[in-house]
Every structure is written in C-alpha cells, then in structure tokens.
Amino acid sequence: MPEGHVIHRLARDLTGAFGGRAVRVSSPQGRFAEAAGLLDGTVLLGAEAWGKHLFVDFGGRFVHIHLGLIGKLRLAEGLELAAPDTLRLRISEGAWVAELRGPQTCALITDAERAAVVATLGADPLRADALPERAWQRISRSSRAVASLLMDQRVTAGVGNIFRCEVLLRHNIPPMLPGNELSRVKWNRVWADLVELMGEAVVKGRIDTVWPQHLPEAMGRPPRVDRHGGEVYVYRRTGQPCLRCSRAVSEVHFEGRRLYWCGTCQRRR
DNA sequence: AGCTCATGGCGAG
DNA sequence: TCGCCCTGAGCTG
C-alpha cells in the first residue's frame, strides 16, 4: 500500500543491498518464473523509482514493479522462505532477501519499454529532474477537481490518497476546486510542500504531515497516529476533530477512492 | 471462518 | 462509473 515515498525508499535500499552484485532470482509462486530464470545469477546494477513505478536494472533489461493497492516488497536480512504460494519474486544475495507479493505489475521489460512508461508520468516531487511547470500547465488548463488532478499520475507522479488529502488541508484548498481556479502562488506552495513532505517520508519511512503546533500532544491530547504509522490531519479521520479547528473531518467517495477534508479549513472562498 | 477494506490502476461499457 | 486484479490485516462471528 504505497505512495511514491515507499517506492523511492525501496529503490534506495535495493541498490544498497544488491547494487553491483550477482543475485539469486526466483519466483516461488511461479508467475514470474521464466523471467526469474533468465535473471538468476546475473548482476543487479541498481534500482530506480519514478512515481510509484520501480525499475530494477539488470543491465539494459529491467524488472518493472508496481505494487498497486495491496502489493508489498519487503527487504531484510535473513528472511526465511515463507508462504511461497504468494511469493511472486524473490531476490537474494548473502543474507539480504527481497520478497515481492501481490504486485499489480512484475514484468521483465526493455529499456525502450521502461522509457515509454516513464514518458506517461507527470512531475515526481521526489525526483530532482521533475518538471513542476509541466504539471502546472495541465492543472491550470483543467476544469477537473484539484483532488482528482493530484492523484492523476500523468500530472503529479507518486502522490497518493494520503498526500493528496493532507496537502490540500495544509493549504486550505477545497478538494473540488477546479484546477483552473487554483492560483499560481498556491500551486507553487503545494509543489514545494510535496517536495518537502515526500522527501521527509522517504527518510522516515512514514507519512507525517502535521505541523508541530498542531500535534495532539501540543494540543493536550494523547498521541494518535494512523495505521500506516504517520501523524496526519484528515486522512482516515472521518468524524474526528480537525487538528486545527476542531470541527469534524468530512469524507466522501470520489472517483472510487475515499476523500477526506475539513469543511471549515478548506471552505471555498 | 468469513467479511471488508487498503497508501492503485486498468479496461469494459 | 463500475468491476476486476493482486494479498493480508483487522474486524466480526
């Protein structure tokens, strides 16, 4: 259940554990067996993330991984082989083991195919080569809701439901505001904030979006974190008091996902 | 044991 | 807009 920070963190850690080494590759479940056979014993050069896409470089051929909603990629030392019926991909070298389960995508692709995937993606706040101006062009010319545009991987890559809900709260933006009614100044702040928030999430391995003065402890309430481990303002806090204004957090189903926001802080003006 | 839901995204209608 | 794909955690019985 990953947003871009999880994928970038995995790319970093996979490169650290396996980069430049000949690795064992297998597919205990069998659904990636043919490709795993081709890669077994070859050198893993490194891994790179673009938005929520992960590309593991085996020298001009890449394992393209997308975790989707439920996929998990664990990397640890000394993992015992368990539940092989769901283990799509296993990479190991020395004591290091990576285990991939439930991915939406796990495919062996060429460099051209990798480039084609990358070409579909919008600005990734976690990449130094991101082009936020291109994202702004799309947003400022669209009548679609900002909440929809931020989740659109062709616009901003790597942003998921948590960052989408939280960044809108942090900038008092009504989720249904059309993109073409968002000011340039606000977009600049949103982008800079995504760069900072997502960067911190890569380092910490969790999403924390709450400003210190709004932390529950600072407000005399006991600490409370979301199941994903991070401290958030509105995500999955329906009916609970907004950490800034204490009014109840709202929720709607929007484009197949749950959208959380504070009707008071994010009132349209 | 069964049910629901999850930090996603695709294709059919 | 809906159904569907993949897996497992957290509920309810």
Extract the tokens encoding A220.
Answer: 């005399």
Q: Of all nucleotides in the shown strands, which has a C1' nearest the CA of A229?
A: B7
Chain C bases near protein Cβ (<7 Å): 1-8, 10
- Residue that is written with structure tokens 């904030």 in the block: A193
Which pair of tokens denotes residue A47? Answer: 């891994």
**Tokens of residue A16, six digits:** 């650290």
Over chain A (269 residues), what is each successive 10-residue block's mean pLDDT?
94 98 97 98 98 97 97 92 92 97 97 97 98 98 97 98 97 97 98 98 95 86 80 94 93 95 93
The whole-number pLDDT of residue A97 equals 97
Measuring CA to CA, which residue among A105, A112, A88 is closest to residue A32? A88
Q: How far apart are CA A222 and CA A54, in angstroms?
A: 37
pLDDT at A235: 95
Residue A15 tokens, joined:
């490169």
Task: Find out whether A59 and A25 touch, Cβ atoms under 8 Å.
Answer: no
Number of Cβ within 10 Å of residue A248's Cβ equals 15
Enumerate the active-site residues of A: 2-3, 52, 257
Q: What is the pLDDT of residue A224?
A: 74
Contact present, A89 and A27 (Cβ < 8 Å): yes
How far, in Å, are A53, A161, A196, A211 from residue A17 at the CA level? 19, 30, 26, 34
Q: Is there contact between A252 and strand B, defined as CB under 7 Å from any strand atom? A: no
* Strand B positions within 7 A of protein Cβ atoms: 6-10
How many residues are recorded in chain A?
A: 269
pLDDT value, residue A80? 82
